[in-house]
Amino acid sequence: MTNGEPLPSSQKPVQFPTQDPTRPPDATNSKPDSQDGPTLPSSDKRYLEANEKDIKKRVEKLYELAAELKADVDKTDSSKVLSLNLIKKTEEIEKLAREIRNRWKG
């Protein structure tokens, strides 16, 4: 096809965008090195901090309930007695665990 006819689209040379090889690809969008991560607007940051505090508080409560449940199970002979208190406590633990999971997901 050297007779001046245009190349078919499958044989046309591919042109790649040119870039200065000494400059990183995102140098124009980079942030100063003093920041470790992306910056968030202050309202988002406050929301995330409050969310983290709430999750930590709920995890502490979950830990307390689990410890209480363990103590109750150790005291109860579950082969002879079905304790409604144990069932209610396990349901409360499950509910709290779901709340924590949902908070973590956002």
Distances (CA, A) of 85 to 37, 61, 71, 77, 89: 47, 17, 12, 13, 6
Question: What is the pTM (predicted TM-score) of this model?
Answer: 0.55
Residue 90 lies in a domain: yes
Does 80 map to a domain?
Answer: yes
Residue with tokens 């973590």: 104
Tell me if 26 is assigned to some domain: no
- Is position 14 within any domain? no
Per residue in 52-88, pLDDT (tens digit) is 999 999 999 999 999 999 998 888 886 777 788 889 9
The total domain count for the chain is 1
CA distance 93 to 11: 66
Parent domain of 77: 41-106
Q: 33-49: per-residue pLDDT in tens?
A: 445 556 667 888 888 88
Residue 5 to residue 22: CA distance in whole angstroms: 38
Rounded to whole angstroms, the Cα distance separating 2 from 11 reads: 13
